A = this chain, B = another copy of it.
Amino acid sequence: DFMSALDEVHPAFGVSEEELLQVIQNGIIHHDPVVDKILQAGKLLVEQVRTSTRTPLVSVLLYGPPGSGKTAMGASIAQASEFPFIKLISPDTMVGFSETQKVAAITRVFTDSYKSPLSVVVVDNIERLIDWTPMGARFSNGVLQTLLVLFSRRPPKGRRLLVIATSSLRSILTDLGFAENFDSELRIPPISSLRSLDLVLQEVGLFQSDQQRKQALSMLAQAGFGDTDEMNPTFQIGIKKLLSTIEMARQEPESVAERLTNSLLDLRGT
């Protein structure tokens, strides 16, 4: 039965712990309440898969601007499930694959997942998996069709699967035919408030003193960072780019605040 099947999962298809940790190398900084809300929503979906018999397949899309933390969040939700089968499908491991090889590799992970009573598959960066480029709207239709089918194909009897997909190009997914393909969609927002910025800066310890940090923040506030016009935020930056910008600023110890604020202000013009 279901419970005994849980024990029989072949370890070869077990959790790829290392891969998951690699993509959350810099941890999850709880810079905003939305971070916890997303993790909680993920947990509910995990529970639905674990308990519901009517929906053996549940799929969720994590979307948001580049570098907003989609991959790290997806990996975190997957890891927290503690399901016996957790796998990450990532373009990073498919460089130079032919279309046929990609389709085979992707399909393989899903087929393997069917051997475990409970599985999570993270399908990271759909646009890259399908070789998407805006120029001429080119992409691999072979990989796209494979994903379209796999995201909707019910696992065999007695098996349950959570699919977590990530993408920066939600509107294009619709044009590609992904409409109504996901049971649920969660938005990973960029950082756009002074409060979030402050929390990140504290966490990474860029400044020697609180005073220095506050000075930098007040400079940014004056330049309009964090203004409350939420519809059209003056600044916004993905957590990934923010962390990189911080490290760059760190290289010039004597002018950290200046470099940081300049870099952030530059984003306005983009």
Q: Hey, which bits of chain A sit against chain B, CB under 8 A?
A: 22, 25-26, 44-45, 47-48, 51-52, 54-55, 58, 66-67, 91-92, 94-96, 98, 100, 103-104, 107, 127-128, 131-139, 141-142, 144-146, 148-150, 153-154, 157, 172, 175-177, 179-180, 183-184, 204, 238, 241, 243-244, 246-248, 250-252
Contact = CB atoms under 8 A, between A and B. Distances in A.
Nearest to A245: B183
A247 to B, nearest CB: 4
Given A66-B179, A92-B153, A128-B148, A248 B48 contact: yes
Nearest to A111: B95
Given A180-B66, A244-B183, A248-B183, A131 B153 contact: no
Contacts of A175: 134-135
Report the copy number of this chain in the oligomer. 6
Contacts of A172: 135
Contacts of A135: 137, 139, 172, 175-177
A85 to B, nearest CB: 19
Contacts of A179: 66
Among all A-B residue pairs, the 10 with the closest Cβ atoms:
A66-B180, A55-B247, A52-B247, A96-B103, A131-B145, A92-B153, A133-B177, A135-B176, A135-B175, A44-B251
Nearest to A152: B92
Given A55-B247, A180-B67, A248-B48, A149 B133 contact: no
Given A26-B54, A133-B176, A135-B139, 5 more contacts: A22-B157, A52-B251, A91-B145, A127-B177, A131-B142
Contacts of A154: 22, 25
